[in-house]
Amino acid sequence: MDPASVENALRERGQTIARMYPNLSEVQAAVARTEGRRHPRGGRRGFATLATGLVCLLLGAAAATAATGVLDPALDAFFGGGDAPGEALPETRVPTWLQPAPGFNAPDEVSLLASAGSEHLYAYRQSGSICFGYGGHVGECRSPGEWSRELERDRWILRPVGKAEALWFGLVNTEFASVRVEYTEGAPEEVAVTNGGFVAAIDWARGPQRLIGLDASGQGVASRSLVAASP
C-alpha cells in the first residue's frame, strides 16, 4: 500500500464502519438484560418473566404493526428493496449535491416525494442504505429497519431543517392524509401528504403554534408544538 494513502484508507474504513447498525434483537437482548437492574422493586424472582415479557411485547408490537400495514405501501416497498417512491428524477433534475462527485458515493436513484414551493423532500438509496434528502443540502441515511421501526413506533418522523428551522420535512404512516400548521395570526395552512411524506414551510412572523397531522376525515392523529422551536 502507498504510505500516502494510509489516511485515505483510515477514512474509508471509518466511513464504512459508521454505516454499521445493530440488529433489533441484539438491542432488545441488552434492554432485557438490564430490566432487573433498572426496576429492582419487582425483585430477582420476576426478572426472567419481565425480560421475556418485554421481548415478547416488542416482538409482538413489531409483528402487529407489520400485519396491520401502517407503513405507507410505497415506503414499505422502498424499505424492502423496491424502487424509491414518488417521481423518479432524470439526471438533469437531480440536485447538484446529490450528483456524482470525485470521492463521494452517488445515490443509485433519486425520486421526489413531496414539495413546498422550491423545497423538496427526496428519497434515494446509497451504498445499501435508505436515504432522504431534505431541501438543498441535508441528507440522512439509515438502514431500512431503522426507518420502518421509527415510523411504526412514532407514526411520523419530523425533521426541522434550514435557517431557524423554517422548513419541516416529514415521513408519515398511512394514517396521515395531510398536515396543518396552526398560527396565532391568520388562517392555518394545510399541506398534503404525498408518497408518505410532506414538506411544510413555517412562517415565523405569524406565530406558529402547532403542527397537526390529520387523517382523511380531517381528524387530528398527531401533533407537535412549534412554540419551543421558535427562533
Partner 1 sequence: MGTPRGLSPISSEELSNQLPDAVGARVLRALRGEKDAEEWVAHRAYTAGLRLATFALGDQSLAQDVAQEVAIRALGGLPKLRSPDRFDAWTYRISAREIKRAAKNRQRQESREDDLDVVKVGHGHSFSESLEERDWLTRALAELSERQRLVLGFRYVFGLDDEEIGRAIGARRGTVRSLASRGIASLRRRAEGEGESAAVAAEEKTQRNRVEAI
Task: Give yes or no for residue 131 binding partner 1 (CB under 8 A).
Answer: yes
Identified binder of partner 1 from the candidate list 46, 47, 54, 190, rule CB under 8 A: 54
> The C-alpha cell of 22 is what?
445493530
Task: Looking at residues 160 to 199 of the shown chain, list those that interact with partner 1 (rule: CB under 8 A).
Answer: 160, 162-163
For residue 186, give the 3-state DSSP assignment: coil
**Distance separating alpha carbons of residues 58 and 53, to the nearest angstrom:** 9
Q: Which string of DSSP letters, residue by residue, matches 6-54?
A: HHHHHHHHHHHHTT----HHHHHHHHHHHHHHH-GGGTGGGHHHHHHHH
In the numeric block, the cell 416497498 is attached to 77
Residue 216 CB, nearest distance to partner 1 (Å)? Answer: 26
Does 40 contact partner 1 by CB under 8 A?
A: no
How many residues form the binding site for partner 1 (CB under 8 A)? 59
| 99 sits near partner 1 (criterion: CB under 8 A) | yes
Give the integer Cα–Cα distance in Å for 93 and 71. Answer: 28
Q: Which stretch binds partner 1 (CB under 8 A): 64-72, 157-165, 170-178, 183-191?
A: 157-165
73: enclosing H helix or E strand? helix 73-79
Candidate residues 87, 159, 175, 189; the one interacting with partner 1 per rule CB under 8 A: 159
Binding-site member from 62, 138, 201, 221 for partner 1 (CB under 8 A): 138
Return the half-sphere exposure (C-beta side, CA atoms, 13 A cut-off) of residue 188: 13
Q: Is 140 in the site for partner 1 (CB under 8 A)?
A: yes
Q: Cβ 114 to partner 1, closest distance in Å?
A: 16
Does 28 bind partner 1 (CB under 8 A)? Our answer is yes
Query: Rounded CA gap, 60 and 65, in Å?
Result: 9
Answer yes or no: are the C-beta atoms of 191 and 207 closer than 8 Å. no
Q: Which parts of this chain interact with partner 1 (CB under 8 A)?
A: 1-3, 5-7, 9-11, 13-15, 17-18, 20-22, 26-31, 33-34, 37-39, 54, 58, 96-99, 101-105, 126, 131, 133, 135-142, 146, 153-154, 159-160, 162-163, 228-229
